[in-house]
Amino acid sequence: RAILPKANLFVGDASNMPFENDFFDLILASTLFTSILEKKMRSDIASEIKRVLKKGGVFLYYDFAFDNPHNPNVKGLKKSDVLKLFPEMKGFLKRTTLAPPISRMVAPVSFLLASFLESFPFLRTHLIGVFIKE
Q: How confident is the model at residue 92 (pLDDT cuts 50, 70, 90)?
A: very high
CA distance 68 to 73: 8
Q: Is 60 helix (H, G, I), strand (E, B) or coil?
A: strand
Report how far Cα 89 is from the mean position of its chain's Cα atoms. 15
Cβ atoms 38, 13 nearer than 8 A? no
pTM of the predicted model as reported, rounded to 2 decimal places: 0.90
Give pLDDT, residue 9. Answer: 83
- pLDDT of 3-59, one tens digit each? 989 988 888 899 999 999 999 999 999 999 999 999 999 999 999 999 999 999 999
Question: Average pLDDT of 114-118?
Answer: 96
Task: Taking residues 56-70, report their average pLDDT.
Answer: 95
